[in-house]
Amino acid sequence: MIPEQQVDLTNLEVVSQPSLTYKLDFERKRISGKINNEEAVMQLVMKILYTERYAYVIYSSQYGTELDRLIGKEYDFIVSDLERTITEALLADDRILSITDFTTEQTEIDRMTASFRVNTVIGATNISTEVNIL
């Protein structure tokens, strides 16, 4: 006999997960303590930007950016697609509400700088990241 269970799916409560995580020291490639709240969300943003989507089986197919596919493309295409690519990658996390004030600048023949404002459930901050284009 199979047991029966009555489950009421109409009154589900959505609970946000805490953002407590390990602090990553990107320069020394070490874990150094723990962080929470705004610092943890900003670390998440940088980690998403540094992780190429589909490159590591440890991450889901929704995690990371697809910036490598822009390498070698025409400059105008890169400028037009860079904002969409970064915005799509960051909005996959529910703590990030929007990306605004997106600008790009070619800093070297093979690099661009993308600058934007990340609006999160905790606050907002400006981010700047380099993107290889050749």
Q: How many domains are contained in the chain?
A: 1
Query: Is 99 part of any domain?
Result: yes
Q: Per the domain annotation, does 7 fall within a domain?
A: no
pLDDT in tens, 86-118: 999 999 998 899 999 999 999 998 999 999 999
Answer yes or no: is pLDDT of 25 > 80: yes
Which residue segment(s) compose the domain that 103 sits in?
Answer: 21-54+63-132
Indicate whether 35 pLDDT > 90. yes
Asked, for residue 8, whether it belongs to a domain, the answer is no
- The CATH code of the domain that includes 78 is 3.10.450.40
Please give the mean pLDDT across all residues of the chain.
Answer: 89
pTM score of the predicted model: 0.80
54-83 residue pLDDT tens? 999 999 999 999 999 988 888 889 988 999
Is residue 113 a part of any domain in this protein?
A: yes
Return the exposure string of 81-119: e unless at least 16 CB atoms fall within 10 Å of the residue's CB, then b: ebeebbbebbeeeebbeebeeeebeeeeeeebebebebe
